[in-house]
Chain A
Amino acid sequence: EAGVTQSPTHLIKTRGQQATLRCSPISGHTSVYWYQQALGLGLQFLLWYDEGEERNRGNFPPRFSGRQFPNYSSELNVNALELEDSALYLCASSLTEYYGYTFGSGTRLTVV
């Protein structure tokens, strides 16, 4: 069974540009979660999508947005990139209302 896959593995962008990160959940999982792991800050919750809808949002500015497609894959968009957006972005999937998240390996975003 394929795990959670994220692309790209690494992404380098210039300040002010937009970044798009993609995530494919485990087959059958309907919930997708996005987390940011910045240096020294642990995993910070960004967004939760389930059945195509945004269910919850973390304490991040509106320039962090995303969506979930009918096949349950998801993308995270970060607009007007700032240097402090440099971090590892992790996607996880689960069955709805199940706590056992399965994480992907992440996308390392570097803003220069």
Chain B
Amino acid sequence: DQQVKQNSPSLSVQEGRISILNCDYTNSMFDYFLWYKKYPAEGPTFLISISSIKDKNEDGRFTVFLNKSAKHLSLHIVPSQPGDSAVYFCAASSGNTPLVFGKGTRLSVIA
């Protein structure tokens, strides 16, 4: 039973364009959502998060949108840069429980 789903295993975007990574969840108790980025041979690094009381959070080129009614969140990267090429994981939590991660989406930004 996968509670956090990233249905696109991979995504290719041209440099300078927008990258949109999507994530769906099934557990309505989730109240905090995060995105992590992972390069090969490194551990995941925290990118951006959003609480369920908000519907948008921005940090520089990265924006996360949350649609609670649709149980959907997305990460927008504008403009995309070659250094953004990595695997992106969506994660969610409810109360004081460990993060539940999706399977990840591999983003390739083409110069």
Chain A residues packing against B (C-beta within 8 Å):
4, 33, 35, 40-45, 48, 56, 58, 90, 92, 97, 99-106
Contacts and interface: CB of A to CB of B under 8 A. Distances in A.
B101 interface: yes
B46 A43 contact: no
A80 B41 CA distance: 26
Interface string B42-75: 1111100100000000000000000000000000
Contacts of B42: 105
A26 to B, nearest CB: 12
Contacts of B89: 42-43
Contacts of B41: 105
Interface in B84-111: 89, 91, 93, 96-104
B77 interface: no
B99 A42 contact: no
A58 B98 CA distance: 9
Tell which of A33, A41, A56, A101 has the most Cβ of chain B within 10 Å. Answer: A101
B101 A104 contact: no
A43 B34 contact: no
A70 B41 CA distance: 29
A71 B41 CA distance: 27
Contacts of A56: 97-98
